[in-house]
Amino acid sequence: MTSPLFTNGQAIPARFTRNGENISPPLVIQGAPEGTRSFALLVEDSDAEGFVHWAAFDFTAEHLLEGAGAIEPQMRPPGLKHALNGFGRAAYDGPQPPGEDSVHNYYFRLLALPVETLGSAEGCDAREMWREARAKRLAEVDLIGLYMGTPL
């Protein structure tokens, strides 16, 4: 998994944060293992006790376009559902570290799954969805983006 706008270990552009436009960045999924029928995605701040910024599942798109984490279903790839993030919303909410004195690491975690659907409903608990998805995973990959509250 990559993003055309930031590389692993580099700064997430401010536009994709709560200090900016708060839209999800584009992601490209390549090299999924044979038998992959859907994906699950979790975005968390590892420096804020794993605070969840985005939890999406049941999607098959290999390209998550800019804004795919929108709360409006018509803006999402076919089939994509959201679990609740740490802000209590079934949508993407970008980085916004508490305090602005240190760089935070945001893990974009992707699971390739052998099932079309996890069977979870829109708005389910993100951690429960992730546990279920990890138990079924064929492969897992991370993309790490950095953000400090003001552009790096």
- CATH of residue 94's domain is 3.90.280.10
The answer to whether residue 35 is domain-embedded is yes
39 touches 108 (CB < 8 A): no
What's the rounded Cα separation, in Å, for the pair 12 and 149?
A: 10
Give the residue numbers spanning the domain of 74: 10-147
Q: What pLDDT sits at residue 123?
A: 96
CB atoms within 10 A of CB 91: 20
Q: Give the chain's domain count.
A: 1
Q: How high is the mean pLDDT in each 10-residue block of the chain (152 residues)?
A: 96 94 94 96 94 96 81 81 96 86 93 97 97 98 89 48
Q: What's the chain's Rg over C-alpha atoms? A: 14
Distance CA 152, CA 146 (A): 8
Nearest alpha-carbon partner for 25 in 50, 3, 53, 52: 3
Q: Is residue 1 part of a domain?
A: no
| Nearest-angstrom CA–CA distance, 103 and 80 | 30
Buried b or exposed e, range 39-67, using 16+ CB within 10 angstroms: bbbbbbbeebeebbbbbbbbbbbeebebb
